[in-house]
Amino acid sequence: MDRVIIELIARSLTLIAIAFAALFVRANVDIEISLKPFKVHIKKKVVR
């Protein structure tokens, strides 16, 4: 029984982690879209 409970908790945690990852990815996309000019400058500095 303990293993079943642990597996259920692990599955729920993985689903929550995937949901948070998706939200962060969407937030990063929005930030990249809103800060495109800054991103260009940052990329140029990094290339140099």
pLDDT tens digits, one per residue of 6-36: 999 999 999 999 888 888 888 777 777 776 7
In terms of Cα–Cα distance, which of 25, 23, 18 is closest to 10? 18
Residue 4: what are its φ and ψ, rounded to 5°?
Answer: -60, -45
Q: In this predicted structure, what is the pLDDT of residue 32?
A: 73
Q: In this predicted structure, what is the pLDDT of residue 10?
A: 93
Cα 39 vs. chain centroid, distance in angstroms?
A: 18
Distances (CA, A) of 19 to 5, 32, 33, 37: 21, 20, 21, 29
Q: In this predicted structure, what is the pLDDT of residue 40?
A: 62
Q: In this predicted structure, what is the pLDDT of residue 22?
A: 85
